[in-house]
Structure 1
Amino acid sequence: MTGSGPQPLRVLLVSHYYPPHVGGIENVVRQEAVRLAARGVQVTVLTSGERGEVRDEEGVRVVRVGAWNGAERRAGVPFPLLSPLVLTAARRWARWADVVHMHDCFYLTSWAAGLGAVLTRTPYVLTQHVGLVQHPSALVRGVQRAVYRTAGRGLLRRARRVFTLNATVADFVRSHGVRPERARHLPNGVDTALFRPAASALERCGARRRFGLPQDRVLVLFVGRMVPKKGYDLLLAARGPAADYDLVFAGDGDAPALAGLAGVHHLGALRPEVLADAYRACDVFALPSTAEGFPLTVQEAMASGLPVVTTDDPGYAPYRLDRSRVTLVPRDAAVLRGTLTTLAEDEALRARMGRYSRSCATTDFAWEEHVGALIEHYRDALPTGAP
């Protein structure tokens, strides 16, 4: 006889990208997938890839559907165009799953998974990471609005739960038909063992040496794609010729704009384990982005014990940050210049802000709490009477 104990929960996670592709959403999905699997959940990830394949990665089944990624390479728009086979894969794995969990309603992977969930009558939940992005292209802005009013709105309204990371996105999903009782605030976690402060001055010097960074300068780190939404251009505009600090950029995008600039260092896109070293090499983190609320890179910087300078976004409201320890500023080059100059000149202030950052990260952004809450939401989404 075989045992007849409870069957493990089966979850289909859906994301337009997944590591080794570098970016915030894909890192979140990987953390969720691996940590859910460690708790005994059977996890399949549906995502895009250069070619179609199914592989086991860290105890997680990863299903990659072939996609063309030219929009990101040519215009910095992270929108893979998938093979029609995504519809077949989505239906198959939605039928396998007890619950489907999509990340962001904007992408083709989520549209296919939503259709698969409806056809197989599988309940689904959805994490909405951002609202409408104020992209410099009117065409891109128009496409966003059209998507959110049609496919996006349909996905959001049908979801059993919609998770948001900040107040701005919570308002956005409610304006697109999500009933208040179905919306939940669920912060991302951060790996506080990987992203940690340098243990000593010697470790920091070693990290700088590995990246070819100067040992005798205050280093201000930016992490993200080099696109206007992220505000890298504001940081360049804020830095005068006699600045007391150097800028360090980690990410891909408009790299030619950084070439040959004195006091500017470009590390390229980095895997998380390498990026953690870049945080430890630097003294300040700056991200003057727009419409992001509380992005993962800010959490990583805080876990790494860096003082944070970022945009004063209403999305930070639910976190009740101490504004004397986290600097929230308008997207203005002159204000950025003054703020970063003050921090560059005041080592004691940087140390106080860094200690606060680390304390917040270890207290408020635990991955285990995030994953535990996810499992409860998955169970709540199951049909009445399901095991």
Structure 2
Amino acid sequence: MSASRQRGGGRLHVLLVSHYYPPHIGGIEIVVRREAEGLLAAGAEVTVLTSGDRSSVCVQDGVRVVRVAAWNAAERRAGMPFPLFSPALLPVVVRLARRADVIHVHDCLYLSSWAAGLAARLTRTPYVLTQHVAVVDHPSRLVRAVEQLLYALAGKSLLRHARTVFTLNASVGAFVRACGARDQRHLANGTDTMLFCPAADEEERRLLRRRLGLPSDRLLVLFVGRLVAKKGYDLLLASHSPEAGYDLVLCGDGDARPLAGRPGVHHLGGLSPAEVAGAYRACDVFALPSTREGFPLSVQEAMASGLPVVTTDDPGYAPYGLDRTQVSLLPREPSVLAGQLRELAADPQRRARMAGYSRAYAERAFAWDEHVRTLLAHYSGLRGP
């Protein structure tokens, strides 16, 4: 049966492609899950193609999820989220592409993305792409060299042939245009402002701290992200001392050995989204001195949770129009970071003002419903009459 005869009809069929999907924990996974659930609720037929320990097909929260077996040693051994798929990947994605009206690929630097781009060409299915990051300045020269090679061999071609490339911030927008993207558009991620919300009162905060094993009598600065260099957790550790007036709380998987035995440092490990939401409500300040991320999902979640935010002064924040008196955008220097966190620890009135701004901004700017409506309108235009 030809591709044209398998498609069509009244219901829009979307194929979402992501190298990982929940229960694997990460920012892209959360975004793809929310897009899938939102599109499904809006009436679209949705299939997610992703990796798994073994090949399988299941329905997860109403969404059809097709997993292709992949070897995940690169993440386990080196913190590189790059699953190596089995040879079954290409025939599976071609079969799924034949049924899809549109393919939405997340990030251009993964085998699943490259296979989806090839399948789109073979089946003449239009595809769009969300590029989440630009080139990462990894501390390993080998990793940087491999990353540059992968962009040159496959990533740039995928960006050039996409009907539209959605980006989350100005830095990534400039990057994809330099790679030859023909139609680049800014599209902010949404945030679940019901799940990620401020603590109702001090009693809830106290109970959450007890549940997480955190001290009740210390100001807590929260970091959420993988324990890798690009996220800047090492800068937070370098800026912290027991006399600083606050404790550090780190939430995320990775190499926790640098955290062991450090006074005033608490590691919660990898948590579910609901547990992460509780960690936000339990803490007082959010800090993420990451590099080249623009506006990562964790910053959006922290703002929705009503936390003062301290993060890197990245050009990618420009399209969002943040009030820099209410969000601390700093250079990635431990001494500057330490000074800012000490000032916030000593100034509860300023923390309260920044917290109020964070919550109000999130409620106004991070609506998932609007994100999904934008995608549906764009998909429908590609589908044609």
The TM-score normalised by the length of structure 1 is: 0.97
Q: Say whether 1:178 aligns with 2:181.
A: yes
DSSP 3-state at the match of 2:25? coil
DSSP 3-state at the match of 1:133? coil
Q: Which residue of 2 aligns with 1:60?
A: 63
Aligned mates of 1:47, 1:202 — CA distance in 2: 41
Q: Say whether 1:139 aligns with 2:142.
A: yes
Q: Which residue of 1 aligns with 2:95?
A: 92
Q: Which residue of 2 aligns with 1:130?
A: 133
Aligned mates of 1:261, 1:72 — CA distance in 2: 25
Q: What letter matches 1:157 in structure 2?
A: R
1:71 pairs with one of 74, 77, 97: 74
Q: Which residue of 2 aligns with 1:194?
A: 195
DSSP 3-state at the match of 1:100? strand
DSSP 3-state at the match of 1:300? helix
Aligned mates of 1:166, 1:348 — CA distance in 2: 30
Aligned mates of 1:160, 1:176 — CA distance in 2: 14
Q: Say whether 1:41 aligns with 2:76.
A: no
Alpha-carbon distance, 1:6 to partner: 5.4
Q: Say whether 1:242 aligns with 2:228.
A: no
Alpha-carbon distance, 1:241 to partner: 3.0
Q: Which residue of 2 aligns with 1:230?
A: 231
Aligned ranges 1:225-374 → 2 under 5 Å: 225-374=226-375
1:13 pairs with one of 11, 16, 36: 16
Q: What letter matches 1:161 in structure 2?
A: T
Q: What letter matches 1:273 in structure 2?
A: A
- Native 8 Å contact 1:149 1:176 kept in 2: no
Aligned mates of 2:346, 2:123 — CA distance in 1: 60
Aligned pair count reads 378
Q: What letter matches 2:367 in structure 1?
A: A
DSSP 3-state at the match of 2:244? coil
* Deviation digits for residues 5-61 of structure 1 (CA, Å, limit 9, x no counterpart): 951100000000000000000000000001110111000000001111000011110
DSSP 3-state at the match of 1:359? helix
Aligned mates of 2:237, 2:350 — CA distance in 1: 23
Q: Which residue of 1 aligns with 2:157?
A: 154
Alpha-carbon distance, 1:254 to partner: 1.3
Alpha-carbon distance, 1:150 to partner: 2.2
DSSP 3-state at the match of 2:215? coil
Aligned mates of 1:206, 1:352 — CA distance in 2: 24
DSSP 3-state at the match of 2:95? helix
Aligned mates of 1:295, 1:250 — CA distance in 2: 15
* Deviation digits for residues 161-217 of structure 1 (CA, Å, limit 9, x no counterpart): 1000000000000010112xx111000000000000001111111110100100000
* Deviation digits for residues 258-310 of structure 1 (CA, Å, limit 9, x no counterpart): 11111000000111011000000000000000000000000000000000000
Aligned mates of 2:271, 2:361 — CA distance in 1: 25
DSSP 3-state at the match of 2:243? coil
DSSP 3-state at the match of 1:63? strand
Q: What letter matches 2:98 in structure 1?
A: R
Cα pair distance change 1:6/1:121, threshold 3 Å: closer
Aligned mates of 2:113, 2:295 — CA distance in 1: 22
Q: What letter matches 2:324 in structure 1?
A: R
1:102 pairs with one of 77, 100, 105: 105
Aligned mates of 2:381, 2:133 — CA distance in 1: 24
DSSP 3-state at the match of 2:57? strand
Q: For the aligned residues, what is the CA RMSD? A: 0.9
DSSP 3-state at the match of 1:242? helix
* Deviation digits for residues 106-152 of structure 1 (CA, Å, limit 9, x no counterpart): 00010011111111100000000000000011111111111112211
Q: Which residue of 2 aligns with 1:207?
A: 208
Aligned mates of 2:290, 2:81 — CA distance in 1: 17
The TM-score normalised by the length of structure 2 is: 0.97
Contiguous gaps of at least 5 residues in structure 2: 1-7
Q: Which residue of 1 aligns with 2:3?
A: none
